[in-house]
Amino acid sequence: MKVRRLLFAILWLALIDLFIPPVLQRAEYARYETGAVYRFENSDLFALGPMVRYLREHPRGPRRRTIFLGNSVVFGYGLETRDALPAQFERLAGDTRVFNAAVNGSESGDSYLVGKAVIDSVDTLYVQLIPRDGARPILGTLLPVDDADARRFALDHTDPVEAKLQSLLGRVWRLYAVNDRLQAALFGTSARQYLYLHKRELLLAALGRGRHPVGGQAPSPVGPEGQARRLSPHREGSALPRTLLDLADVAKTHRKRLVILDFQQRVAAADFNAQYAPYAEIVTIDVPQALRVDTQHLTPAGANAVAAALVAHERERAP
């Protein structure tokens, strides 16, 4: 009798599994291709792997694709999702889908690995210049990386036997294979992180006293435009991190546009810009202190001003 119950439970799982592909397809389309602003919840890494896999499996979307990579400055530390630089860029740029794939504490090595993984699935990469070349070891388990990069950054790796077993099980049990993608598509992070972040709203919604946190986000009031200084792509200074040079080579090889955002480092840009034009470019951005909450992070108005300046810069250089 009890064995029969176990078999019954397995049958239920098999039945549920039939509905997983269409559910995942709808959830991912809603998350990655529609107008809702895209950013990792709480700046965690959970959704990075699923996002990269989605982009690699769907190299073309309904709109042009732009990805922003960097640390908390680009992520929008202290800002609502809609007020961060990438979201404001998306609103101002028009017909482009923007992925805010910045994660707090990232270094240029992280951006290099993510950028390289999605290079064929995006049109433009905006990468924050961070003077450190490090990469998080866990990226080795989240992204497709080649052996050379795995050695170069001493990345973690899944045991090959475990990976093979996971692949085999994933072929017969789709929910097992895509559970992280489903969570990332539904919540923008892991289900547990989502529950933790929205526990109050969820509780109030359950009690009928609040709005369920899932749903579209209200448009942000657009901050004062035109406050950003002119972008000046020809300043001289320190050297570009090695990983960003390598990413520029990747962009050039794949004929994609890479814009390196130099907020503070003042690297020598002239030779680089000449060498990599029209594929890669360093732009130096001066943000007045009034548009920053501290020495680095932008206010909503600061993010808006930088976004406006970047959009204007792209329009200037476009024929």
Partner 1 sequence: MIFTELRFILLFALCWITFFAVPRRWRNATLAAFGIAFYAIFAGPAVLGIVLLLTLAAYVRAPALLFVIALIVAKIPNASWVVPLGLSYLTFELIHIVVERRRGRIAEMSFTALLAFVFFAPARIAGPIKRFPQFRDAVAEAELSGDDVYAGVLRILLGLAKKFLLADILALTVAESQYASSMRQAWMVVLAFGLQLFLDFSAYSDIAIGFARTLGIRLPENFNWPYLASNIREFWERWHITLSQWVRDYVFTPLGRALFGTRLRPYPSAIATISYLVTFAIVGAWHGLEPRFVLWGLYHGVLLAIFNLWRRYVPSSDSVPRRALGIVVTFFFVTIGWVPFFLPLEKAAHMWALMFGLAH
Residues engaged in binding partner 1 (CB under 8 A): 1-3, 5-6, 159, 161-162, 165-166, 169, 192-193, 195-196
Closest CA to 272 of 254, 288, 286, 251: 251
Q: Which is nearer to partner 1, 179 or 273 (CB)?
A: 179
Q: CB of residue 297 vs partner 1: minimum separation in angstroms?
A: 17
Tell me whether residue 14 or residue 270 sits nearer to partner 1 (CB atom). 14
Shortest spacing between CB 41 and partner 1, in angstroms: 12
Q: Which helix (H) or strand (E) holds 72?
A: helix 72-75
Residue 172, classified by CB atoms within 10 Å of its CB into exposed (0-12), middle (13-18) or buried (19+), is exposed
Rounded CA separation 167/225 (Å): 50
Minimum Å gap between C-beta 76 and partner 1 is 19
User: In this complex, which beta carbon is closest to partner 1, that of residue 3 or of residue 218?
Assistant: 3
d(CA 136, CA 6): 41
Least separation in angstroms between CB 9 and partner 1: 9
Task: Annotate 116-168 with DSSP letters as a single string.
Answer: HHHGGG-SEEEEE--S-----TTHHHHS---HHHHHHTT-----HHHHHHHHH
For partner 1, the closer of residues 81 and 193 by Cβ is: 193
Judged by CB, which is closer to partner 1: 10, or 30? 10
Instruction: From 91, 90, 75, 177, select the one nearest 130 (Cα to Cα).
Output: 75
Locate 256 and state its tokens. 């994609």
C-alpha distance from residue 90 to each of 35, 188, 223 (Å): 9, 18, 14
Cα of 305 vs its chain's centroid, Å: 21
Measure the CA–CA gap between 293 and 55, rounded to whole angstroms.
33
C-alpha span between 35 and 97 (Å, rounded): 8
Residue placing its CB nearer to partner 1 in the complex, 2 or 315: 2
Q: How far apart are CB 3 and partner 1 at their closest, in Å?
A: 4
* 50 vs 115, beta carbon nearer partner 1: 50
Minimum distance from residue 156 beta carbon to partner 1 (Å): 15
Query: From the CB of 120, what's the least distance to partner 1, in Å?
Result: 31
Residue 65: name the closest of 122, 8, 14, 11 by CA: 122
